[in-house]
Amino acid sequence: LSLGTASDLLKKYEGGSVLDFGDAIICPGFVDAHTHFPQLQIVGSFGETLLGWLDKYTFPEESRFVDGNYARQIAKRFIREMLRNGTTAAAVFSTSHRQATEIYCEETLASGMRAVVGKCSMDQNAPKQLLKSIDRDVEDLEALISQWHGRDDRIFCAITPRFAPSCSEAMLNELGSLRARHPDIYVQSHISENLEEIDMVHDLFPNDRDYLAVYERFNLTGPRSLYAHGVHLTDDELKRMGETETALIHCPSSNAFLGSGLIDLRRVERHNVPVAFATDIGGGTSFSMLRTQLDAYKIQKLGHRVIHPVELFFHATLGGATTLKLDHLCGNFSIGKSADFIVIDSKPGDLLNDRLHNSLDPDEKLFALATIGGSNYIDKVFVQGNCVHERL
């Protein structure tokens, strides 16, 4: 409604109720641009790289989501964990089950969060119980889109081929047609995360010149297309992503944990590719977008580059919202947006408290939040002006 100094607003809304957060830091809710709700229980699984990790941990766990009760229990816990960490908007992968995806949408709506949600499409290279026929998959997606897409300006649907190797050409073709029928729908997937995976894509799609070309051929790039990782993309692929506004979602914790590689974010930016940051639970190991900023900083530092604290913070808030095309609804405190914000508070004697009080420069304070701050300092979380999490 309004934005201004306390004294002006108190005059304007005289007699209204006031929430006073004292010296605490109030900041916009975080945006997590890529995460997997069915992977809550496999966070921190030991020892594998991408393809082994999918076979050994991910596919067996995702198979359990055929059970609606289990899906609901995990959806509730996953959303609670995001809110506890100050994340108020996210782009989320479900499993290939329609019911589990509907349940996730219901729980998101009930929580007040905002989410782009996608039922995974897979018809090959995964256990049978996770595969769907093309007809069944498209029927499920059409139903989800008509029921959920745009609901309350808070739930948006994404066509979600898990990654190119999970889908036959016929399935990718149908997903591209579905996208053409619903031009405002999102697309989310993975790209060039791991060298073995890239070899697999070359073997499966030998006529495409590179990984991105597979998605391009099937109308799965362009605005509202969100591709996670992109660690090993070529300059030519990045150039095409930039030209078509196809986004790269950087998942630093996951890239380090699964040993996928060190991306050069400056190279991505040189090609004007839209970027957002993400946790990628459960390849990533933390729900915190503060921790994610620190991990992003460390990954660039290992490549002898630095990211400025403001840039880190931007990618986790307004930058993420912009890349997800949600910046007219959330991402900062502009008038007309949802009051989705978090209150970060530390007590005298806490390391964060010392660091904040010893830093005069706002950039240093932001960097202290990213390096030392964490969910334990998030005192309250609000979505649409309602308090949905309070630290005990």
- Candidates 48-56, 152-160, 226-234, 258-266; binding stretch for Zn ion (CB under 5 A): 226-234
Q: How many angstroms separate the Cα of 124 from the Cα of each of 134, 165, 166?
A: 11, 7, 5
Smallest gap from Cβ 190 to Zn ion, in A, equals 6
Which amino acid type is present at position 147? Q
Smallest gap from Cβ 246 to Zn ion, in A, equals 16
- Binding residue count for Zn ion, defined by CB under 5 A: 2
Smaller CB separation from Zn ion, 54 or 145: 54
Which residue is nearest to Zn ion, using beta carbons? 280
- Candidates 16-24, 225-233, 259-267, 369-377; binding stretch for Zn ion (CB under 5 A): 225-233
Smallest gap from Cβ 43 to Zn ion, in A, equals 12
Distance CA 236, CA 196 (A): 20
Smaller CB separation from Zn ion, 53 or 377: 53
Distance CA 313, CA 292 (A): 10
Distance CA 101, CA 92 (A): 10
Q: How many angstroms separate the Cα of 31 from the Cα of each of 83, 145, 196?
A: 11, 22, 30
Q: Is 61 in the site for Zn ion (CB under 5 A)?
A: no
Smallest gap from Cβ 229 to Zn ion, in A, equals 7
How many CB atoms lie under 10 A from the CB of residue 254? 29
- Candidates 213-221, 223-231, 233-241, 336-344; binding stretch for Zn ion (CB under 5 A): 223-231
Strands (E) in the chain, as ranges, are 25-28, 30-36, 87-93, 114-118, 120-121, 155-161, 186-191, 225-229, 247-250, 275-277, 341-344, 378-383, 386-390
Q: Considering only residues 357-376, where is the footprint of Zn ion by CB under 5 A?
A: none
Smallest gap from Cβ 228 to Zn ion, in A, equals 5
- Candidates 83-91, 148-156, 168-176, 277-285; binding stretch for Zn ion (CB under 5 A): 277-285
Of residues 167, 300, 147, the one with CA closest to residue 231: 300
Q: Which residues contact 88 (CB under 8 A, 6 or more apart)?
A: 29, 30, 31, 113, 114, 330, 340, 341, 342, 381, 383
Q: Which residues contact 157 (CB under 8 A, 6 or more apart)?
A: 116, 117, 118, 141, 144, 145, 148, 149, 185, 186
- Candidates 38-46, 274-282, 314-322, 345-353; binding stretch for Zn ion (CB under 5 A): 274-282
Binding track, positions 102-121, relative to Zn ion; x by CB under 5 A:
--------------------
Do the Cβ atoms of 262 and 296 come closer than 8 Å?
no
- Candidates 62-70, 220-228, 290-298, 299-307; binding stretch for Zn ion (CB under 5 A): 220-228
Smallest gap from Cβ 360 to Zn ion, in A, equals 39
Smallest gap from Cβ 162 to Zn ion, in A, equals 9
Q: Is 280 in the site for Zn ion (CB under 5 A)?
A: yes
Of residues 323, 312, 261, the one with CA closest to residue 289: 312
Smaller CB separation from Zn ion, 249 or 366: 249
Smaller CB separation from Zn ion, 91 or 372: 91
Name the site residues for Zn ion (rule: CB under 5 A).
228, 280
